[in-house]
Structure 1
Amino acid sequence: MRKNRYGGHDRRDKQGLQPGRWRRRWRHSLKLRLVTMFVLLALAMTAIFMGGMQRAFSTGWRDAAKPLVADYMDRVVTELGTPPDVAKAEALVTRLPIAIRIEGPQVNWQSHPERFEFRERAGLGTRGGDWLSRSTADGHRVSFGLGTVPWQRGPHGLFGWLTLALLLALIAGSYIYVRRLLRPLDDIGAGAERFGRGDFAEAIPLRRRDELGDLAQRINAMAQDIKGMLDAKRGLLLALSHELRSPLTRARLNAELLPTTAHGNGPGEPERAALLRDLGEMRDLISDLLESERLASPHATLHREPVDLAALVREVVADMPDAGAVVLDLAADLPVLALDRMRIRLLVRNLLDNALRYSEEAGQPPRIVLSRQDGGMLLEVRDFGPGVDAEQLARLTEPFYRTDSVRQRATGGVGLGMYLCQLVAQAHGSRLEVRRAEPGLSVRLLLAG
């Protein structure tokens, strides 16, 4: 089953070609609609032209040719004699593209039976008021029709097939031309998709100097402007973060050096602890902002080295004072992967800190699972807390996002932990999978070997 662009599964692959699929494709494709319009226009013009010409010839030329044909038929009947001579009729049919039928008391003969049967089935008839028939004095009736025309003899019938082949070739040529004409639209669509992902390295190619070429050039200029604004925003954020770290460090140092007294000469211990906690949150916020901007940059580089992920998980758990009760389910003989140690450590610490924060009232502690899967290693961190609503799962990795129920600012954090984990996973060619565990929340990450 194939995944669609939004991450869900497309059921059409299971069902095969559904009715109306080509209709939807035709409605979506400008090239197909243009070629269809050209073909229908050509067919309509041909039908109108042929119908009009046939109408003109059938009314004008028929009236003009009728007396000439009638006089010619009278002469032919006279030439055949009384009774009609079959030998003369055969010689006449051989020389001219006409069909003759003789009906009477002495002679009954016809040169092209199929021609007259067709006339009778078509309701044209050969008796009564048919002006293509003549009666002789001895009671015979001579009827005339169209015989074998010259283009029906020999290889001339190939002209019809050649005409059809030429028509199909013109249709194929028009489609190729329209496809080439609208090819810049495909380039513009692919370029817009790249720009939407934040990839501005490759511009839209300029294939022609027409309206579509001008549109591609303007979109390239817009992309460069957007890239410049994003770079300026990122540079400003990094500069502000760097500039704020120094005064925050001095403020925290001064707060720690303040004397504590209960007689009003200095802040009390609770006030000092609250001040240090606020300064620590600001320091962590600035550190997370700096790291997130580094990872989000297209020029971010990883310092890969062989990492024993199981040992790294144990180190992170040992360094966290509240993680003593965490359950570790680490498989044996796990491979050593080439990872960025510091950033994977940041990922594990953030996931574990998040799980501990929301497991305070849970019945059991968080759980970390490390196992082999698909030639790589699967890391799963699960808590047994209240969890989140299903519609909020997709937004947990957004920066500064906090749910409006349990996961609030009062519980700690600024909403950058899961976002940083997502950036670290993407930098390693993977992504976080966040899902409800019933109870709690499960975060999984597959690291390739």
Structure 2
Amino acid sequence: MKIRKRLRVSYILMLLVPMVLIMLTGAMFRDQYENGSDWIEFPKGFLSELYSIIAADPDSLLESGTLEELSRLSGFDGINIAVYQAEQETATFPSISRHSHGRHLTSSWKFYFSDGTSGQLSVFVYDRSMIKGFFPLGGLFFLFVVAALILTNGVLSYFVAGSILKPLSALKAAAHRIKNEDLDSPIVYEGKDEFAGLCSAFEEMRLRLKSSVLEQVKTEENRKELIASISHDLKTPITTIKGYVEGIKDGIADSPEKIEKYIDTVYAKSIMMDELIDSLFLFSKLDLNKVQFNFQNVDLSMFLSDICDEMRFDYPELEISLDAGSGAEVKADRMHLHRVISNLIDNAVKYRSEKKPGVEIKLSRAESFAVIELRDNGKGIAADEFSHIFDHFYRADPARTTTEEGSGLGLAISKYIIEAHGGSIKAEGQPGLGTKITFTLRIAL
């Protein structure tokens, strides 16, 4: 039940319950007041005389003399005795108007007249103080009304306040847990009132905070891993350069051929460092979403054909084929898309098997996406490596013993670029059977 409805119902009950109790108690009091038979304590002589008359000669109760004698035997002044025959007042003492007001019934006795008609003798008083227990009963009635009001309000307030304070206490405890960095305890509330939405919002906040904390921890771990990987990948060529330069200085390279070889090695390692630094810079900008993309319509058939021609020139030993199908036009950044495909082909060459390197490129459509597949005949990748190869600085060879080492950022950069284009990228393959990289791009409208 909603809190607003709950409060409204409790307010109505706070009014109705005391009113009903007061009405029931008032009805009981009135019934006893109007039909009581022991409101005045009559002397035994009065009662014995009355009972004997009713038994022996009930018709004499219609005579004023009999009523006067009963009045005298009652021992009370200011009472009025009335006799009813067939529910009609037929005799009274002292004689008063039958329609007079101000009389208060205290006692009555029923009997039958000699002709069989019903009769009743009633005693009235004009002063309520003569009625035994009237004022104590009135006080008791007042106390009962007050008690009913207090009890009703107390019970309803207890239950309504409890239904509000219980979820508030749960939320307070949850807030303390979150403050103390306990983000593993769920906030559960089974009610269907306004607190359900509030608890749901708190639970969503807890989950987001937990996700944020986990992401922060992961980011910190990635940062440490990135620093370690950068240190390793920069130290390797620097050590090589240092060694070859020292060889030249120490005269180890004692011939023009050796000196040229040393200088070529130093130059090659310098190029490797330059490429690594460029990759690091681009990766950092992609990670921070600071890379500007120049999207334009690109005919993939022509674009892929041009890249294949470039790769044949760069890698004369590479066998590369293209199946452009019916072609497709996409919205893409030419420079960054070129980098993705070049990275994938470079990897096919670097991690080739003993066979002559080969790459098959296939273009197809799938609903609103263009699908590009690049399949090589290289070493392949184990199944448990697929979930990691797009991580930065990840290499399938943990020992880094490949003859052609890259920056370890190529696939990570490719994934960032493809996702920035609204597409996706995945890898498939088996060890010794090559690798297939598949990525999608949205078709231009």
TM-score by length of 2: 0.45
TM-score by length of 1: 0.45
